[in-house]
Amino acid sequence: MCQGTRLRETGSMNGTTHADNDIRKQRPADAIPTHWTERYLPDRLLPYARLMRLERPIGWQLLVLPGLWSIALAGLQGASASTLLWLAALFTIGAVIMRGAGCVYNDIVDRDIDARVERTRNRPIPAGQVSVTAAWRFLILLLGLGLGILLLLNPPARILGAASLLLVAIYPFMKRFTYWPQLFLGLAFNWPALLGWVAVRGTLDLPAVFLYLGGVFWTLAYDTIYAHQDRADDLIAGVKSTALKLGRHTKPWLAVFFTLTILSVGLGGWLAGAGSPFVTALGIAAGHAVWQIYELDIDDPGNCLHLFRANRDFGLIMLSGAVVELLLRMF
């Protein structure tokens, strides 16, 4: 059961529940209290923002970055600046929406597990702030918005984007059956690397495949770091993760994952025609990865969360290399 008093259903059309303003006190453990959603949204809307993890933007940032790599590198082979900026904007908005939809779906599926895990027991559904029925309605709304974004892309990208829903649907169940749910997260979370290329070029080419593989290895690295926060609770709840599988051998495995990330993304960039600016960025990103591995303390949840969030910078470093390449070609 969740901490505190389970909030009473109000019977309102949106299914949100209230109990003496406890909603603001029952903040999820890793929420950012200074985020604008936590500070300014009314109580009626705040649980839905938390369902989407709006107060934790790192999720949509990690989702959109492989797509932005792909858009920028695909642009090296010819595309107008206005087209690339338009696609970058669509992908960013789409990442916020679809990451939110994924989180809502994950919370519906995992509501009983979340209630038994210290870090997640104050999420809106196990905390009683949002009913399961209301969460399903909200999910349908978000999927409708995501579909609207997808329809603005070219037909091949629409088909490819729709295909990702199968991976999204099965991912929350993987932790029940395999110690490698992070692999399935990577397969779903890095789909924008394929989608971005197709949105620019109209076809799926080999550079995009290597960018996608690099993103999958990157997700294995950063989500293994993230999962070390929950090792004890995951054992109690009976769910699996790479953190439990790799244990004290995590650092050597992270070195493998990050190395494969750099090599795969580098090969994708080379096939796309990228040169020294991109290679330089990859070298800096490799140094960032070494820093992460050196600093990691798998027994310190705060350290794990800090390094997980630092992967936004890792992804931005590689994006900067692709953008510099693109600007040099255009101007």
Sign of CA dihedral 302, 307, 60, 192: negative
Residue 85 included in any domain:
yes
Residue 62 falls inside a structural domain: yes
The answer to whether residue 3 sits within a structural domain is: no
Q: Cα separation of 39 and 255, whole Å? A: 39
Distance of CA 46 to the CA centre of its chain: 20
pLDDT digits (tens, 9 = 90+) for 195-217: 999 999 999 999 999 999 999 99
What's the confidence (pLDDT) of residue 30?
Answer: 67
The pTM is what? 0.88
Residue 137 lies in a domain: yes
Is residue 164, in this structure, part of any structural domain at all? yes
Identify the pLDDT of residue 34.
79
User: What secondary structure does DSSP assign to 226-249, as a single string?
Assistant: HHGGGHHHHHHHT---HHHHHGGG
CATH code for position 205 = 1.10.357.140
pLDDT band at 147 (very low <50, low <70, confident <90, very high): very high
Place of tokens 């994952």: 257
> Which whole number is the average pLDDT over 295-302?
95
Q: How far apart are CA 285 and CA 283, in angstroms?
A: 5
**Cβ–Cβ under 8 Å, residues 284 and 266:** no
Q: Is residue 40 part of a domain?
A: no
**Band of residue 48 on the pLDDT scale cut at 50, 70, 90:** very high
Owning domain of residue 227: 8-32+45-330
Number of domains in the chain: 1
The predicted-structure confidence for 157-185, as pLDDT tens digits, reads as follows 999 999 999 999 998 899 889 999 999 99
Residue 156 has pLDDT above 60, yes or no: yes
The DSSP line for 11-55 is --TT-BEESTTHHHHS--TT--TTSHHHHHS-TTTHHHHHHTTTT
Q: What mean pLDDT, rounded, does the chain reach?
A: 89
Q: What is the pLDDT of residue 93?
A: 97
Instruction: Using the predicted structure, report yes or no on whether residue 1 has a pLDDT greater than 50.
Output: no
Per-residue pLDDT tens digits for 106-144 = 999 988 878 877 777 888 888 888 999 999 999 999 999
The per-residue pLDDT for 150 is 96
Instruction: Let me know if residue 210 belongs to a domain.
Output: yes
| Rounded distance between C-alpha atoms, residue 86 and residue 322, angstroms | 17
